[in-house]
Amino acid sequence: MRIGLVIYGDLDQVSGGYLYDRKLVGHLRDRGDDVIVFSQPQRPYPLQLLENANLPFWRRLRAADLDVVLQDELNHAALAVGNHWLRRHIDAPIVAIVHHLRAREERSAVSAAAARLLERGHLRTTDGRIYNSPSTKKAVEGLAGPRPHVVARPSGRRFGAAVAPDAVSRRATAEGALRIVFVGTLIPRKRLHLLLEGLRRVPDAEWTLDVVGDPSAHDAYTATVRQKLRRLDEPSRVTLHGQVSDDALKALLDEAHVLAVPSAHEGYGIVYVEAMGRGLPVLASPSGGVQDVVTDGETGYFVETATDIADAVRAWASDREHLAEMGRAAVAEYRATPTWPETCRRIASFLDNIVQRSSQQRPHAS
């Protein structure tokens, strides 16, 4: 097949969504498909609307003679209007890859309303959808109605075989402070500030925190994080690593006891699965696809407030056998997750079917 993929920027960006897209493109090319990446410029959200009027871009899509057009739903604002033109000028089905909805993030009422309008408009122009979790499917269909779809969970198997349960137990019960790791771009949605507020309520001697993530994505938020660090009694308990290599991240996960990423919303959260494979229970917010990954009280704790975070950290720090038990449960859950080849084969089969069906009957947007 000849497949087009519309994304912002390039495929090498560091995020779970881009990793998902990158793995899919690699799989499709390996099986012999011709995949062409169509890049749109990354701009502030309101300015993304201008891309709908970028006629050279839309004409390139039309001229590419594609069998199917894949669109990362992250680009919804740049596609919501232009897709109506595209549908009139190509026979290929349009399929959205939905990692999570912007409208589900913590935003002002005006911003959330704008996101709902644009996301609904984009999603209703699609002929099919690829969801990364049942929770994402439920949210999208509640916003924009159903379409032919596949639910293909991401794999968290970036770091090889899972850690042995005995090693989890030894690490958890060894003496020393509870070692916490946060992994995520420093943006408001990831809520590192909330984690720091929670840790302020726990004696410093009971924990350390390693922060892994790009600090340059949101300068104002990074400044807020640094301000909160200065308010800690012992700021040296927190290490800001910035972006690190896969090997360095694996080493940090293997040294840690707990992953703490209390994001306001995650469509899935590949990093949670990756950490569970290293034997780490997870501290997360019960929003979005994380509920399909983490079992509250068994493989991690769901938290909403700084007090919830403090209570969870105290529980793990004071009861290391309980920490070990949850770490072993996390490994068992990780082993039940799909591999990347399994995920990509599932998507490829869906694309084959939707392309075949589209030659007979193409669903119309409503």
Q: Are residues 196 and 219 in the same domain?
A: yes
The pLDDT tens digits for 154-167 are 988 888 889 999 99
User: Do 176 and 223 reside in the same domain of the chain?
Assistant: yes
Residue-level pLDDT at 207: 97
277 with 190, same domain: the answer is: yes
Structural domain contains residue 298 = yes
Give percent above pLDDT 70 in the chain: 98
How far is 69 from 63, CA to CA, in rounded Å? 12
pLDDT value at residue 362: 52
Query: 225 and 280 share a domain?
Result: yes
Residue 365 lies inside a defined structural domain of this protein: no
Report which of 93, 29, 44, 180 is spatially closest to residue 359, judged by C-alpha positions. Answer: 93
Q: Domain tally for the chain?
A: 2
Whether residues 255 and 330 share a domain: the answer is yes
Q: Residue 363: pLDDT above 70?
A: no
268 shares a domain with 122: no
Model confidence pLDDT, tens digit, residues 44-62: 999 999 999 999 999 999 9
Least-confidence region, from 72-76, 243-247, 285-289, 358-362: 358-362
Inside any domain, residue 364 = no
Instruction: Say if residue 134 is in the same domain as residue 196.
Output: no
Domain identity same for 189 and 133: no
Which residue in the block uniquely carries the two structure tokens 């060894």?
174
**329 and 266 assigned to the same domain:** yes
Query: Residue 65: inside a domain, yes or no?
Result: yes
Structure confidence at residue 234 as a pLDDT band (50, 70, 90): very high
- Residue 361: the pLDDT is 64
* Per-residue model confidence as pLDDT tens digits over 110-126: 888 999 999 999 999 99
Asked whether the CA dihedral 28, 30, 36, 38 is positive or negative, the reply is: positive
* Domain membership flag for residue 331: yes
> Do 175 and 139 have their domain in common?
no
In a domain, 363, yes or no: no
Query: Which CATH number does the domain housing residue 203 bear?
Result: 3.40.50.2000
Residues 193 and 295 both lie in one domain: yes
Residue 58: CB atoms within 10 Å: 20
CA dist 364 and 1 (Å) reads 23
> In terms of domains, do 9 and 146 share one?
yes
DSSP conformation letters of 177-225: -EEEEEES-SSGGG-HHHHHHHHTTS-GGGEEEEEES-TTS-HHHHHHH
Q: 303: burial class by Cβ within 10 Å (0-12, 13-18, 19+)?
A: buried
Q: In which domain, by residue range, is 78 found?
A: 2-155+339-358
DSSP code at position 65 = -
Cβ-contact 147, 120 below 8 angstroms: no
With H, G, I as helix, E, B as strand and everything else as coil, classify residue 172: helix
Of 13-22, 152-161, 232-241, highest mean pLDDT: 232-241
Predicted confidence (pLDDT) at residue 366 exceeds the cutoff of 50: no
In a domain? residue 101: yes
Residue 201 lies in a domain: yes
Structure tokens at 189: 């949605």
